[in-house]
């Protein structure tokens, strides 16, 4: 048995002490004021949530606990889950013990496979992932215990059980979705000796799936794990769980948000964009042709996928980590070369396009991830968001475990009508 639960308890005690201190210092302190523009503008820039798994600094990107992306990008996803939940890296014996625990929980129920196999052939793999997890909802330990009448202070412990049960099944479920949707439907068995990412890479059954591909999947699953609390998928998952809908409902809901083109689907949009450039110009693509294509896209009212961010104001460090991988493992790949050419051209264009309306002209993680997967023969880009989802579930789980452990209430901000706002403006 790993010490994950004990360390989460320690973290919860520490976080609770901090909250007690914060409340004692000034429960009524104003952190953020809301403007009319923010009410109509997706609440951008409104500080209204506490999330202790990770935070995104506009200028240095994703931090988990005190660690920067560079600090944690070489770790295993299992260690990242520990870090998200506890704020620290595990001891060296954690991986072995945690793997033993997960190995007891891997098996995806037959009824889930039956459901996934009966879906129409053109069902989006994200729909399959979301439905696959939702279909297992009846297994929720939290729900069963809640119905028996548990204490509020125990909610997080049973939610952790649900989290471990889902996380253990994810490689098999996600790889199975790939095999059903894009392969011959035969599933490759889970290998108890492989780590979480290695198993997923192996069970996809790609001809090209050697050590380097496993390394890419590891990096992918680490870099997409969490992005603080206000992004569409994490926030959705938290809102749903705050109603004490169990983790299966909350994860499925979060994934439905991740499936949108402005969020998790952006990586497949990016690769489509790159492939179109490749199709039109081929190998001999010049910088001038890239510029022309980018302007054509912008002038037709479309966004440049993989560029811009609601919070970041620099090149996403996750993009940088992937570029480093690309330079090492696939420097000669055409898509990767186009990715590099776009990086050289797009920020300069977006900085000044339409008076510089784009708040962040720099690339986000999605600008490169698809090119790398494509290089290894993972050419079904509808599947890419599933990999994003598998990783991001680590964040959904950690955020919900900590929020329940801190006794956070149901989330219910106030909405108002146009008339209410007009009346308010008249009062000025
Ligand atoms: N290309 C062209 N225009 C862009 C742009 C881009 N990459 N990014 C932003 N803009 C435009 C917006 O559409 C908006 O135009 P409008 O005023 O005419 O509606 C204007 O610039 C201001 O937007 P913003 O404040 O810079 O961005 P935002 O916070 O509203 O949205 C995001 C952020 C990511 C949705 C946006 O930058 C975008 O659409 N990028 C392309 C898609 C993408 O890469 N998504 C992935 C995000 C990361 C993730 O969740 N995986």
Give residue-wise pLDDT tens across range 156-168: 999 999 999 999 9
pLDDT at 282: 82
Residue positions annotated with a catalytic role: 263, 309, 366
How is residue 32 written in tokens?
A: 């953020």
Query: Is 135 inside any structural domain?
Result: no
Q: What is the pLDDT of residues 75-88, one digit of tens each?
A: 999 999 999 999 99
Give nearest CA residue, ligand 1 atom 21. Answer: 358
How is residue 304 written in tokens?
A: 């440049």
Whole-complex ipTM: 0.97
Using a 6 Å cutoff on CB, does residue 309 contact ligand 1?
yes
The residue whose two tokens read 């050590």 is: 211
Q: Which of 126, 235, 301, 303 to mutate to test the pocket of ligand 1 (most atoms within 8 A of CB)?
A: 303
Q: Which of 44, 265, 308 to mutate to test the pocket of ligand 1 (most atoms within 8 A of CB)?
A: 308
Query: Is 328 inside any structural domain?
Result: yes
The residue whose two tokens read 């693509």 is: 285
Q: How many domains does the chain have?
A: 1
Q: What is the pLDDT of residues 130-144, one digit of tens each?
A: 999 999 999 999 999
Give nearest CA residue, ligand 1 atom 32. Answer: 309
363 pairs with which residues across the strands?
Answer: 307
Q: Which atom of ligand 1 is nearest to the CA of 306?
A: 44
Query: Is 273 inside any structural domain?
Result: yes
Query: Is 269 inside any structural domain?
Result: yes
Helix spans in 183-286 (H): 196-204, 211-223, 232-242, 247-258, 266-281
Query: Is 361 inside any structural domain?
Result: yes
Indicate the pLDDT class of residue 126, thresholds 50, 70 and 90.
Answer: very high
Query: Is 206 inside any structural domain?
Result: no
> Helix (H, G, I), strand (E, B), or coil: what is residue 61?
strand
Average pLDDT over residues 233-247: 98
Using a 6 Å cutoff on CB, does residue 175 contact ligand 1?
no
Query: Is 333 inside any structural domain?
Result: yes
Lowest mean pLDDT among 21-25, 85-89, 201-205, 261-265: 261-265
Residue 317 domain boundaries: 265-376
Yes or no: say if 208 and 377 are a contact pair by the CB < 8 Å rule.
Answer: yes
Indicate the pLDDT class of residue 56, thresholds 50, 70 and 90.
Answer: very high
Q: How many residues does the chain have?
A: 428
CA-wise closest residue to 229 among 54, 102, 20:
54
Task: Read off the DSSP letter of residue 54.
Answer: E
> Which CATH number covers residue 304?
1.10.230.10
Query: Is 26 inside any structural domain?
Result: no
C-alpha span between 312 and 314 (Å, rounded)? 6
């Amino acid at each position: 048995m790993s010490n994950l639960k004990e360390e989460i308890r320690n973290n919860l005690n520490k976080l609770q002490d901090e909250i007690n201190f914060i409340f004692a210092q000034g429960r009524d302190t104003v952190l953020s004021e809301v403007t009319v523009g923010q009410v109509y503008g997706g609440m951008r820039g409104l500080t209204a949530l506490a999330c202790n798994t990770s935070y995104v600094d506009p200028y240095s990107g994703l931090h988990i606990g005190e660690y920067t992306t560079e600090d944690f990008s070489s770790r295993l996803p299992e260690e990242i889950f520990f870090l998200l939940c506890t704020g620290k890296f595990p001891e060296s014996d954690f991986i072995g013990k945690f793997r033993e625990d997960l190995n007891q929980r891997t098996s995806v129920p037959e009824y889930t496979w039956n459901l996934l196999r009966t879906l129409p052939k053109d069902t989006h793999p994200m729909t399959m992932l979301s439905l696959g997890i939702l279909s297992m909802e009846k297994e929720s330990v939290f729900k069963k215990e809640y119905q028996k009448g548990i204490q509020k202070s125990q909610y997080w412990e049973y939610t952790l059980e649900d989290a471990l049960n889902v996380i253990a099944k994810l490689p098999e479920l996600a790889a199975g979705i790939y095999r059903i949707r894009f392969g011959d439907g035969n599933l490759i068995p889970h290998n108890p000796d492989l780590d979480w990412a290695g198993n997923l890479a192996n069970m996809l059954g790609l001809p090209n799936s050697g050590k380097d591909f496993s390394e890419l999947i590891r990096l992918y699953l680490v870099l997409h794990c969490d992005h603080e609390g206000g992004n569409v998928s994490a926030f959705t998952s938290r809102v749903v769980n705050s109603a004490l809908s169990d983790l299966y409902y909350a994860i499925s809901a979060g994934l439905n948000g991740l499936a949108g083109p402005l969020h998790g689907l952006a990586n497949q949009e990016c690769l489509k964009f790159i492939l179109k450039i490749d199709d039109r110009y081929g190998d001999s693509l010049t910088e001038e042709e890239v510029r022309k294509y980018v302007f054509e896209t912008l002038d037709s009212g479309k966004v440049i996928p993989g560029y811009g961010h609601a919070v970041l104001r620099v090149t996403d460090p996750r993009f940088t980590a992937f570029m480093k991988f690309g330079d090492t493992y696939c420097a000669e790949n055409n898509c990767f070369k186009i990715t590099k050419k776009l990086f050289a051209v797009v920020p300069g264009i977006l900085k000044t396009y339409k008076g510089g309306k784009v708040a962040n002209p720099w690339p986000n993680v999605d600008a490169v991830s698809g090119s790398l997967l494509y290089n290894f023969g993972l050419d079904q880009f509808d599947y890419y968001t599933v990999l994003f989802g598998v990783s991001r579930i680590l964040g959904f789980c950690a955020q919900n475990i900590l929020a329940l452990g801190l006794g956070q209430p149901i989330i219910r901000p106030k909405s108002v009508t146009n008339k209410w706002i007009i009346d308010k403006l008249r009062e000025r």
